[in-house]
Structure 1
Amino acid sequence: MRNDLKARRAERRWSQAELGTALGVSRQTVIALENDKYDPSLPLAFRIAALFECPIEEIFTPDEEGPAAP
């Protein structure tokens, strides 16, 4: 799953630590999210979307690869 979290954070001039505090997660979690190393839980994805006042789908997009065909 890809996201544009880093760009959205930069637009608001928030540090990774500030975003982590606002979301209730560590700075390391924000780094992992921004680098596509970690997919957020559904509750965290909803908190992120609420913080940026937009639908989840505007922040997170699925990878091009879909499920394997049978």
Structure 2
Amino acid sequence: MTCNGICNTYKANKPKEGGRYENGQKRCQTCEIFVYHDGLYCPCCKTQLRQSSRYIKLKEKAVPLIRL
């Protein structure tokens, strides 16, 4: 899949407070940008959008672990 340039209309600016994923932004690995989009797939290249961070520290910050 390749970027068609349509994603520029969905491009999201960095939020002033909090992280990108916490504010509802998703990342497209193919287009290499963060987008505001309700679906699971990029409207430009149709690849699946990343909805959480790849880094363990940021994952724990976004979704706290429940310990029994």
TM-score normalized with structure 2 length: 0.32
> Which structure has the larger Rg over C-alpha atoms?
2
Greater share of helix: 1
Higher relative contact order (CA 8 A, sep 6+): 1
TM-score normalised to structure 1 length: 0.32
